[in-house]
């Protein structure tokens, strides 16, 4: 009385996790930061996230069809949505809709699928999208908003939607009335004009560490990042290396000349350092494989960001730093191969 | 650290617990099969004993179709490997290819025996005075009784012991760490027969020339520790310690166990005996006790039949050659949603196409899995390079990179990134979010590496033979040419000689003619001519 | 303007000289390329490439007289290895030279063999044992599957058989993937 069975390889256990689950947990970790953003800067960011996600999924669908790949596992794996959300967090909340469209096209088509699709891209797609948009459309990409508490005029949901879709501000005075430079922007122009730091920071735009509002958003991103660490989605090496290198490298400069160099923690909590440390530089596909490699990668991101902030032409250099380190990642991997058992 | 320092540290085995890199904490699922005491199932109608049951080559059958065999009679021999014995008394019905329990799923030569129910033993030859027997005698007894490692690798015990003895082993480690979920045969053996295990340990220790024995068990095996330390044998013996190690899969792997007990790593490409340690499974130790004190050859073992696909999971003491279907019947059969049958555990076991395959020396567990256990919620996706696989790998390899290299045929890199050190534990496969069948790829990769090594060797040999043949042909040609040359020379010399002789004769004739004409003149002329 | 041109020009000259010196100073000596090519060939000595043996073919490749895709026993893997070594483009196997088949050996049917020794003389690796008017046998482990012994046999008693795989030598098959995988090379 024999019976036949189907055969398949080991292990024969229910699998622990899926790609979609990993991506969903990343999105979950971003929620506190996004809510804080909406609280401080208005509903524009939510519209941007939705727009970017829609465009990203649309381009993903088109590319999968063109490449003859099956839709089922790839559309559902939420990797395009993660790219879209990270990109939306980097652009001004009232950026026009076509910025999202063009940027997501670059991210999904060029930076992801033309390199081979999920898991094969060399450069971080969200950062590629941001850099392309920044360089091609500097005007639209630098019309930032002040925190709601400080704004003379602020826009509600419907007004934000109309600004994003039409590009026209429905207020007398247009863009000049609502937009204002970011804290990092103000710092840079101030330092170049030769003013001292305490003087520059003596405006309501700045909080204790970074800009008002911005530092709180960074806090909430850090909370999300710690959640990811707890769930073992990311490893501690990259966040510690990014933040650690920023603090360690800016410390001697601040000690030497506190009037023209910001406090290290001010560096950490302004701009996108915290977001990069926990969400962008930890992208596994474009980062390093070994733990030592990840430390070097994170340190590189931190140091290059500081260099661009201090001496470069842009107020915040995180995106460029990440892309440069993406280029270096395979080489770092080759030299930081961990020792094998018995070697 | 040089090797003598290594040996010193290895001698401290078990005094401190270290850690190995990676590993997983898995749910045990062992209680369900430990509820009943272990019994022998009733005799099946037919026993199918494969001639390939261990590492090495297939054994040669010593019996013919129609022979009557006795229980324990040797029916297969293979010089460097362990012998094969008949598990029952009965008639040999056939010697043919049958499905055997092998990862390839291929059939192989088997001796099919129909038991006559009498269970008549053959003449046994125990070494009753083993305390005074020489190590060589003990090792020979192990070989004759067909002992092989019962932990899964089925390496012939006599070969391992002889090698350990030659390399001056100081500590014998008994591996009772059954780290794979579901398997509980070693645990039941340790609970029911601790005396035999410890007796076997003493015999092995004597054969190896070692001083200490360390028995390693998992930290949740409280009952087992009591059973072992409470047994009479333990009370009478010295230098035997029971050590608890944390239950992290794959703790039971030889290299990982050594790392946990000593903090040392077995050198790459080396063996535990390089550190003066030898690892044996507890079941092997019990079998050694049987073989030496009772002369009983290896014909049965503890097998766990368990899983969500079995109605009444339990452990059996099963004869080799028992079809798996018979054991399942003795467990009240399959449940409704049984979907796959695996020999071994869920992490490293191989599947069976049908359940008429027999129990062999390596079958520690028969696991029937239900549909929910093997459901695949997601199709295979490309690697997202998350690094989880490297985090859990106990051999500190980079499964990501190895996978990339194997799928792209970069075989030199595969070797240098250490694929041969992979123990195929399945940890990387289990945590992969993209559900890539990493263990399958690595097993394929190892086979490819071996194939390439064999092909390279064969090519080298072929090249050498070709070059030698070319050289030989050239040499023969040269010799022939030389011979021809010499012959020509010889002929030339002969011709020259002939000419000279002719010339001499001519001269003599001329002289004679001249003398005949003028005797006086010719004399002077002849003298001046004679030279 | 002139100054910048001069400075850049000077920099260019300096770096160019530096690179040239580095190329000479750090030059890596490697094995003669013919040895390395020969090491990659399967040593079947069958002649399907058009050359009398693997070494002559290796020498022809080294001087670019022959292409790298002429060896059927080496197959695609062999062509890729050669392409890798020499920095040339891998191509598909040239069908004029033959097809890639699974590993085969030859078997002499002893009932038909007449002991003429013609196959013994033809075998490039001396894998056939025998003497005049005595039985000839192929040593299975030495046979490379080149099939050069088949044409000379006057009674056609040599057969081509598969080289077997048995469970001790069994190899796991290559896993299938659910989606199309495009190799990176």
Q: Where are the domains of chain B?
A: 1-43+127-297
Same domain for C143 and C157, yes or no, is yes
Nearby residues of B378 by Cβ (< 8 Å), 6 or more positions away: A15, A18, A19, A20, A73, B435
ipTM above 0.85, yes or no: no
Q: Is C117 among the domain residues?
A: yes
Q: Which of B380, B408, B450 sits opposite C184 (nearest CB)?
A: B408
3-state secondary structure of B342: strand
Please give the pLDDT value at position C185.
38
Q: Judge whether A261 lies within some domain.
A: no
Q: Do A16 and B431 touch (CB under 8 A)?
A: yes
Give A132-185 pLDDT, tens digit per residue: 999 999 888 887 877 777 776 677 788 778 878 877 776 666 677 677 777 777
- Those residues with Cβ within 8 angstroms of residue B309's Cβ, 6 or more apart along the chain or in another chain: B334, B335, B337, B338, B339, B340, B341, B368, B369, B370
In a domain, C107, yes or no: yes
pLDDT at C182 > cutoff 60: no
Q: What is the pTM of this model?
A: 0.82
Tell me, yes or no, whether C62 lies in a domain.
yes
Top pLDDT among B221 and A342 is at B221
Look at B455 and C42 and tell me if their CB atoms are within 8 Å: yes
pLDDT at C177: 66
Comparing C84 with C128, which gets the higher pLDDT? C128
Any domain includes C82? yes
- Chain A residues touching B401 at Cβ < 8 A: 289
Tell me what pLDDT residue A110 has: 94
- Domain boundary at C78, C97, C116, which? C97
Residues C47 and C79 in one domain: yes
Distance, in angstroms, between C182 CA and closest chain A CA?
9
Average the pLDDT over each of A89-98, B103-112, B238-247, C7-16 and give the range with the smallest value.
B103-112
Asked if the structure places residue C148 within a domain, the reply is yes
Q: Give domain status of residue C86, yes or no.
A: yes
Tokens of B163: 């090698």
The domain of C54 spans 33-97
pLDDT of residue A80: 93
C42-82 per-position pLDDT tens digit: 888 888 888 888 888 998 888 888 888 888 888 887 888 88
B378–C contact, CB cutoff 8 A:
no
Q: 10 Å Cβ neighbour count for A25?
A: 18
For residue B6, give how far its alpha carbon lies from the nearest alpha carbon of chain A (Å).
Answer: 13
In a domain, A265, yes or no: no
Q: Chain A contact for C177, CB < 8 A?
A: no
Supply the pLDDT for residue A203.
Answer: 74
Q: How confident is the model at residue C168 (pLDDT cuts 50, 70, 90)?
A: low
CA gap C109, C121 in Å, rounded = 18
- What is the mean predicted confidence (pLDDT) over A218-235? 91
State the CATH number of the domain containing residue C120. Answer: 3.30.70.20
Please, which pLDDT band fits residue A321 given cuts at 50, 70 and 90? very high
Give me the CATH code for the B1-43+127-297 domain, please.
Answer: 3.40.50.11540
- C144 and C128, same structural domain? yes
| Domain at C69, CATH number | 1.10.15.40
Instruction: Give the C-alpha separation, A338 to A325, whole Å.
Output: 20
Q: Residue C159: inside a domain, yes or no? A: yes
Q: Quote the minimal CA–CA distance from C38 to chain B in Å.
A: 9
> Are A69 and C179 within 8 A, CB to CB?
yes
Q: What percent of chain C is predicted at pLDDT more than 70?
A: 90
Tens-of-pLDDT digits for all 531 residues of chain B? Answer: 567 778 888 888 888 888 888 889 888 888 888 888 999 999 999 999 998 877 677 888 888 999 899 998 888 888 777 788 999 999 999 998 888 888 777 788 899 999 998 888 988 888 888 888 888 888 888 888 889 888 888 888 988 999 999 988 889 999 999 888 999 999 999 999 999 999 999 999 999 988 899 999 988 887 888 888 888 888 888 889 999 999 898 888 888 999 999 888 888 878 888 888 999 999 999 999 999 999 999 999 999 999 988 999 999 999 999 999 999 999 888 888 888 889 988 888 888 888 888 999 888 999 998 888 887 767 788 888 888 899 999 998 999 999 999 988 888 889 888 898 899 899 998 999 888 889 889 988 998 898 888 888 888 888 888 889 889 999 999 999 999 999 999 999 999 899 999 999 999 999 998 888 876 654 554 444 444
pLDDT tens for each residue of C30-43: 667 888 888 888 88
CB-based contact, B97 to chain C, within 8 Å: no
Are residues C175 and A9, on separate chains, in Cβ contact within 8 Å?
yes
Cβ separation of A69 and C182 shorter than 8 Å?
no
Distance CA B120, CA A19 (A): 60
Looking at the domain assignment, is residue A106 inside a domain? yes
pLDDT at residue C167 greater than cutoff 60: no
Range of the domain at A66: 18-180
How many folded domains does chain A comprise?
1
Q: Is A135 inside a domain boundary?
A: yes
Report the distance separating Cα A79 and Cα A60, nearest Å. 10
Q: How many residues does chain C have?
A: 185
Can you tell me the mean pLDDT for A106-121? 91
3-class DSSP state of B44: coil
- Which residues on chain A are in Cβ contact (under 8 Å) with C175? 9
User: H-helix or E-strand containing B303?
Assistant: strand B300-306
Structural domains in chain C (count): 2
3-state helix, strand, coil in chain C (%, to 5): 35, 10, 60
Do C90 and C144 lie in one domain? The reply is no
**Which residue, chain included where needed, has tokens 């040359």?**
B485
> Which range, of A21-30, A158-167, A232-241, A278-287, averages the lowest pLDDT?
A158-167
């Amino acid at each position: 009385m024999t019976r036949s069975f189907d055969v398949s390889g080991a292990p024969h256990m229910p699998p622990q996790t899926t790609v979609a689950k990993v991506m969903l947990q990343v999105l979950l970790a971003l929620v506190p930061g996004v809510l804080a953003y909406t609280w401080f800067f208005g509903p524009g960011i939510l519209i941007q996230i939705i727009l970017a996600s829609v465009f990203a999924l649309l381009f993903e669908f088109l590319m999968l069809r063109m490449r003859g790949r099956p839709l089922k596992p790839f559309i559902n794996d939420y990797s395009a949505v993660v790219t879209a959300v990270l990109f939306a967090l980097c652009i001004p909340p009232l950026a026009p809709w076509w910025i999202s469209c063009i940027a997501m096209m670059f991210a999904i088509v060029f930076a992801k699928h033309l390199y081979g699709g999920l898991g094969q891209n060399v450069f971080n797609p969200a950062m590629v999208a941001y850099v392309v948009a920044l360089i091609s459309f500097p005007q639209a990409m630098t019309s930032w908003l002040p925190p709601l508490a400080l704004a003379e005029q602020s826009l509600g949901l419907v007004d934000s939607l109309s600004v994003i879709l039409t590009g026209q501000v429905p207020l007398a005075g247009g863009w000049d009335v609502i937009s204002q430079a970011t804290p990092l922007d103000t710092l840079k122009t101030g330092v170049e004009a030769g003013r001292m730091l305490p003087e520059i920071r003596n405006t309501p735009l700045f909080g204790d560490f970074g800009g008002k509002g911005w530092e709180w958003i960074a806090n909430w991103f850090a909370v999300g990042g710690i959640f990811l660490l707890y769930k073992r989605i990311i490893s501690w090496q990259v966040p510690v290396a990014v933040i650690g290198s920023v603090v360690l490298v800016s410390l001697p400069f601040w000690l030497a000349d506190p009037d023209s160099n910001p406090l290290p923690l001010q560096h950490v909590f302004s701009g996108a350092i915290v977001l990069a440390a926990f969400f962008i530089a930890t992208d596994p596909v474009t980062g390093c494989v070994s733990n030592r490699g990840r430390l070097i990668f994170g340190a590189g991101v931190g140091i290059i960001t500081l260099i661009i902030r201090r001496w470069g032409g842009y107020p915040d250099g995180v995106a460029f730093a990440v892309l440069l380190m993406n280029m270096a990642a395979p080489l770092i991997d080759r030299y930081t191969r961990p020792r094998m058992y018995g070697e | 650290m040089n090797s003598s320092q290594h040996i010193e540290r290895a001698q401290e085995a078990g005094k401190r617990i270290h850690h190995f890199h990676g590993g997983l904490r898995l749910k045990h699922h062992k209680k369900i099969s430990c509820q009943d005491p272990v019994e022998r199932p009733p005799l099946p109608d037919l026993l199918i004993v494969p001639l390939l049951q261990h590492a090495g080559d297939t054994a040669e059958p010593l019996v013919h179709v129609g022979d009557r065999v006795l229980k324990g009679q040797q029916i297969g021999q293979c010089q460097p490997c362990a012998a094969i014995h008949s598990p029952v008394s009965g008639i040999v019905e056939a010697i043919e290819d049958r499905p055997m329990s092998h990862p390839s799923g291929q059939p192989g030569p088997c001796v099919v025996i129909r038991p006559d129910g009498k269970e008549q033993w053959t003449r046994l030859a125990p070494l009753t005075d083993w305390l005074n027997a020489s190590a060589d005698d003990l090792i020979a007894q192990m070989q004759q009784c067909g002992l092989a490692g019962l932990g899964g690798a089925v390496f012939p015990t006599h070969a391992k012991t002889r090698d350990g003895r030659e390399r001056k082993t100081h500590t014998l480690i008994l591996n009772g760490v059954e780290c794979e979920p579901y398997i509980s045969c070693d645990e039941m053996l340790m609970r029911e027969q601790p005396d035999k295990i410890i007796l076997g340990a003493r015999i092995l220790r004597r054969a190896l020339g070692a001083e200490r024995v360390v028995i390693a068990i998992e930290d949740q095996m409280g009952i087992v520790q009591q059973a072992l330390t409470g047994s009479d044998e333990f009370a009478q013996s010295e230098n035997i310690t029971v050590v608890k190690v944390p239950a992290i899969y794959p703790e039971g792997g030889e290299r990982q166990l050594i790392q946990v007990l000593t903090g040392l790593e077995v050198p790459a490409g080396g063996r535990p005996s390089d550190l003066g340690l030898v690892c044996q499974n507890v079941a092997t130790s019990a079998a050694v006790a049987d073989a030496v004190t009772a002369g009983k050859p290896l014909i049965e073992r503890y097998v766990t039949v368990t899983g969500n696909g079995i109605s009444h999971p339990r452990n059996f003491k099963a004869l080799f050659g028992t079809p798996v279907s018979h054991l399942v019947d003795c467990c009240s059969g399959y449940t409704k949603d049984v979907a796959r049958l695996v020999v071994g555990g869920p992490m490293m076991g191989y599947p069976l196409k049908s359940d008429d395959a027999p129990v062999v020396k390596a079958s520690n567990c028969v696991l029937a899995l239900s549909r929910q256990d093997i459901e695949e919620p997601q199709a295979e996706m490309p690697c997202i390079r998350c690094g989880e696989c490297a985090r859990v790998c106990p051999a500190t390899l980079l499964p990501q990179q190895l996978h990339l290299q194997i799928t792209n045929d970069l075989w030199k890199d595969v070797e240098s990134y250490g694929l041969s050190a992979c123990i195929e534990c399945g940890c990387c496969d289990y945590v992969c979010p993209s559900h890539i069948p990493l263990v399958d790829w690595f097993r394929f990769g190892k086979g490819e590496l071996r194939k390439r090594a064999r092909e390279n060797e064969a090519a080298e040999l072929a090249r050498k033979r070709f070059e030698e043949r070319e050289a030989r042909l050239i040499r023969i040609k040269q010799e022939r040419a030389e011979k021809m040359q010499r012959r020509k020379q010889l002929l030339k010399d002969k011709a020259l000689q002939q000419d000279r002789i002719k010339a001499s004769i001519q001269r003599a004739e001329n002289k004679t003619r001249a003398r005949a004409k003028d005797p006086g003149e010719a004399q002077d002329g002849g003298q001046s001519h004679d030279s | 303007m002139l100054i910048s041109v001069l400075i850049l020009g000077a920099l260019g000259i300096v770096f160019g000289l530096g690179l040239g010196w580095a190329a000479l100073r750090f030059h890596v000596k490697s094995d003669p390329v013919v040895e390395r090519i020969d090491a990659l060939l399967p040593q079947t000595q069958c002649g399907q490439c058009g050359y009398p043996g693997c070494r002559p073919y290796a020498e022809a490749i080294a001087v670019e007289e022959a292409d790298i895709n002429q060896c059927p026993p080496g197959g695609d893997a062999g062509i890729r290895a050669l392409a890798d070594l020499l920095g040339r483009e891998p191509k598909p196997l040239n069908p004029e030279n033959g097809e890639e088949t699974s590993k085969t050996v030859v078997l002499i049917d002893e009932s038909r063999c007449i002991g003429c020794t013609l196959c013994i003389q033809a075998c490039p690796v001396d894998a056939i044992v025998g003497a005049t008017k005595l039985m000839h046998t192929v040593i299975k482990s030495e046979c490379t599957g080149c099939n050069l012994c088949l044409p000379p046999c006057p009674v056609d008693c040599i057969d081509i058989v598969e080289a077997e795989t048995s469970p001790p030598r069994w190899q796991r098959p290559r896993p299938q993937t659910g989606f199309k995988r495009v190799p990176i090379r």
